[in-house]
Amino acid sequence: MTVFDQIRALASDLFAISPDKLSVSSSPETVDAWDSVQHLNLVLAVEEKFHLQLSPEEIEQMKTIGDIVKIVEGKLQTAPS
Amino acid sequence: MNSENKSLNLRADVDRLIANGAVQLASGCMAELWREEAGLSVAPFLVSRFEQLRGKVTLTPYRLAVLRSFTLEPAIPLVRAEAFVKGIDLSAQLGDFNAYAQDILDADSSLYRFSPDAVILAARTPELAPDLWNQFADLSPDAVSAAIQRVVNSFAQWIRIFRERSSAALILHSLELQPHPHNGILDAQRENGQAAAIHQINRELRRIAGEHRSVYILDYDGLMARHGRLRWNDQRKWLLARMPIAADNLLHLSREWLRFLVPLSGKTAKVAIVDLDNTLWCGIIGEDGMNGIKLGPEYPGAAYQNLQRALLDLTRRGILLAICSKNNPEDAMEALTHHPGMVLKPKDFAAMRINWGDKAQNLREIANELNLGTDSLAFIDDNPFEREQIRKVLPEVTIIDLPANPMEYASALRDCPVFERLALSSEDKQRTVMYAEQQERAQVEHTFENKEDFFRYLEQEAEVAPVSSATLARVAQLTQKTNQFNLTTRRYTEQQIQEMSGRSGWQVLSISVRDRFGDHGLVGVAIAHDQGESCEIDTFLLSCRVIGRTVESALLSQLAEHASSKGCKRLLGWFFPTKKNAPARDFYPQHGFELTEQSPEGSLWSFDLTKQQIAAPKWVRVTKPAAV
C-alpha cells in the first residue's frame, strides 16, 4: 500500500465515506465530514499509523490529502529507520 | 509489513463476514483486530462496523456523557470501540469545550436531555485551580486555603445539583499534581506545599463523593503517574488544539473509563478460572516435581507469587477462584497443599477441574457447579492455544491475555475491568466461605430421598425487609448483576433504588436467607408499585445462590400480602425473556398467575388477590425486621 492509499483509508474510516470518493485534492472544502474535530482525528491517526510526530507548522500546511501525503513521505525518508 | 497485512486481512474478513451475516464470527474478528492494534486509526473502522451489528449480536446499551475542560473528541471513538469489544453498545455525548459547569447547572442542558446512564466529569487542575497551578509560589498560606476551599465548594455544588437532576452515575476525575512543584524540593518539606494542596482537594472530593449515591472518583493523578507523568501530556497538542493528553495516552484514559463502565453496565466476571503449570507457578509439576517448580520470593518464582497475590485480592472483592488444569490431580494437589511458596491455598478455590479433559467442557462444568452462566467466567491461562480454543467455543467467557513475560502477569490481571467493583457488600467479602457452605449443602442434599425433607432439614429463615441505607448498595448491585432468576432484568443504580423506595405507593423489599449451614446474606429483591386496584411487580429477582430453595415463594407471598393490605385486587407482573433468565420463566404460572397479555417483549401475568392467597412454603420461617 502506498502512503496515499494508507492515508486515504484512514480518512475514509474517519469521514465514513468510500475511499474512491477521496483524491489528492480532497480537502475540508470538498468533504462535508472533514471539520476541525475530524482534522485533529486525522492528524492523530496519521501520527499513530506512521509512528511520527507532526509539528504545528506541518499541521498548518496540511490543507488537502495530497499535502498530508507529501509531508508524511518527506518525514518517512528522513526518518532513521 | 507482516502486521500491516494481518490488519488488512482482518478488516477484509470483518466486512466479508458481516456481508455474509456471520455476525458472531465478525465480532470475534473485530475483537482480534482491536487486540492487535487498538488505537486511533482503527477505532473509527470498528465503531462503524459494530454499528452494523446492532440488533444482531447481544450488546448492552449504555449512555455516557463526558463533561470536560479540554479537547477530548479523539477519545470518544476509542472508548466506544473498547466498549463494543466488551459487549457494550456505548452511545457517547461530549459536552461543549470547557462548558462543564453550565452543563451541570442548566436544567435544560443537552446533558440532561441526553439522559445518560453515566457522566464523567473530566476537568483538570489548570482549569479548575489556575492559581494553585500557575502562581503557587506567589500565594500566601491564606490564599492557598482560599483557593482549595473555592474548588471544593464548586465541586460540592456541582455534585449536589447534578444529583437533584439526574440519577446517572457520576465519575469525577481527581486533580492532577504538577510534575515540577513550583517551589522545587522545598515543596516536599512543607505541610502546605503545592502537592499537599492538590492532595487536600482530592481528599475532600472523596469525602463529598461518599456523601452521595453513585458518585465515584477516578484517580486521574494516579493514572497519569502509572503511565509516567512527564510522558502523559503533549505540550504541542495542547497549544495546537487544546488537547493536553498525548495521543497515545488517550487509549489508557478510555480504558480507565471502562473500569467504571464495565461494572456499571453489569459486565463483570464473577469467577477467575486459572491454569496451574506456568500460570500459578513456573514449571510443570508433573515433570519437574515439587522441588523443580519455581515459586518463591526470588526470580522467576516471584512473578508467579505476585499473580497469586493479585488473585487472592480478587477474592476479597467477592470474586471466586477456580482451577482448570491438565494434570494428574494427585501431583497438582500435592503442590497446591504443600508447596511452601503457595500464596493461595486449596480452600481459596470454589471449584477445581484437574484432569486431562477438554478445557471448554471443564469450564461449563465449573459454571454449572457454581450455579453461574459461562459469561460470568474469566479464563487465565499462559497457553495461547488454550485461550484460542475457549475463545472459539465459549466466546462469552472473558479471556485474560497473559503477556509473554510472567513478570507482567499480575498487572495484566489487576488491569482487567471485569474484576472491578464499585462498592463492596458484606456478601462480597464472604463469598468464598459461602460457596464452601454451598458445597456442604450439595453433599447433604444427596442423602435425602425427597426435596421437602431436605428443605425441612435446612431450617431456612428468611427475613423480608424494606430497603434501608444499610442494604441499598447490595440491592442495587443485585439488580445490576442478576441474570438468571430475574423476571424483568431492569438494572438500577443506588440512586434510582433510593428514589423508588421514597415514592408513594412503591415498595422495595429485600430478602435475606440463613440456614443451618450458614448465612446466604441478602439474596433477593422485589420492587412493586400500586396503581389503584392493581399492584405491579417492577422487579423480582433472586441470586443464583439460592435458586431452587423455594425462598422466592416466601418473598412473593410477602409482596402479595402487602398488596392486599393496601387494598389492591390484582398483582401484576411482566416476564421479559432474555438469553439467561429461563430459570424464572415459569415463576408466575407456578404460583397461580394467569397470562393476560403477550407482547413481543414479554408476557404479563395477573394474580387475583381477592380469590386466592400465596402462601410461603411451610419449611421457610419468614421474619420481619424488629421495627418497621
pLDDT tens for B225-271 read 999 999 999 998 998 899 999 999 999 999 999 999 999 999 999 99
pLDDT at A79: 64
pLDDT at B7: 82
Q: E strands of B148-246, at which residues? A: 169-173, 215-218
515433570: which residue's cell? B287
pLDDT in tens, B39-69: 999 999 999 999 999 989 889 999 999 999 9
CA distance B106 to B290: 66
DSSP character for B287? Answer: H
C-alpha cell at B514: 440463613
Structural domain boundaries enclosing A57: 3-78
Residue B628: Cβ-neighbour burial (10 angstroms; 0-12, 13-18, 19+): exposed
DSSP character for B599? Answer: -
Q: Which residues of A touch B241 (CB under 8 A)?
A: 40
Q: Does B615 touch chain A (CB under 8 A)?
A: no
Percent of chain B's residues with pLDDT above 70? 99
List residues of chain A with CB under 8 Å from any CB of chain B. 1, 10, 13-14, 16, 37, 40-41, 44-49, 53, 55-56, 59
Strand partners, B325: B354
Q: Is the pLDDT of residue B4 over 80?
A: no
Q: Which residues of B touch A47 (CB under 8 A)?
A: 247
Give me the mean pLDDT over the B301-312 stretch.
98
Q: Around Cβ B420, how many Cβ atoms within 10 Å?
A: 18
C-alpha cell at B622: 419468614
C-alpha separations of B142 from B146, B149, B154 in Å: 6, 10, 18
Q: Give the nearest partner residue to B73 out of A37, A48, A53, using CB atoms.
A: A37
pLDDT in tens, A31-65: 999 999 999 999 999 999 999 999 988 998 999 99
Q: Around Cβ B446, how many Cβ atoms within 10 Å?
A: 7
Distance in angstroms between the alpha carbons of the first and the last residue of chain B: 70
CA distance B9 to B426: 49
User: ipTM surpassing 0.85, yes or no?
Assistant: yes
pLDDT at A80: 59
What string of DSSP letters covers B440-468? Answer: HHHHHHTT-SSHHHHHHHHTEEEEEEE--
Q: Which run of H or of E encompasses B60? A: strand B60-68
pLDDT at B90: 97
CA atoms lying within 13 Å on the CB side of residue B296: 9
Q: Give the nearest partner residue to B39 out of A40, A48, A55, using CB atoms.
A: A48
Q: Is the pLDDT of residue B626 over 90?
A: no
Q: Does B38 touch chain A (CB under 8 A)?
A: no
Q: Does B8 touch chain A (CB under 8 A)?
A: yes
CA B208, B210, B216, B217 dihedral sign is positive
Q: How many helices (H) and strands (E) does chain A have?
A: 4, 0
C-alpha separations of B323 from B269, B295, B367, B399, B401 in Å: 15, 17, 12, 15, 17
CB contact under 8 A, A13 and B41: yes
C-alpha cell at B83: 466498549
Q: Which run of H or of E encompasses B165? A: helix B141-165
DSSP character for B545? Answer: G
pLDDT at B434: 79
Number of domains in chain A: 1
CB contact under 8 A, B40 and A16: no
Closest CA to B571 of B598, B541, B533, B542: B533
pLDDT at B472: 93
CATH code, domain carrying A60 = 1.10.1200.10
CB contact under 8 A, B41 and A56: no
Q: Is the pLDDT of residue B140 over 50?
A: yes
452511545: which residue's cell? B91
| Average pLDDT of every residue of chain B | 93
**Minimum CA–CA partner of A37 in chain B:** B73
pLDDT in tens, B477-514: 999 989 999 999 999 999 999 999 999 999 999 999 99
Nearest chain B Cα distance for residue A70, angstroms: 19
CA distance B434 to B440: 10
Best probe of the B interface among A2, A13, A72, by most B CBs < 10 A, is A13
CA distance B196 to B186: 12
pLDDT at B448: 84
pLDDT at B553: 93
Q: Around Cβ A54, how many Cβ atoms within 10 Å?
A: 22
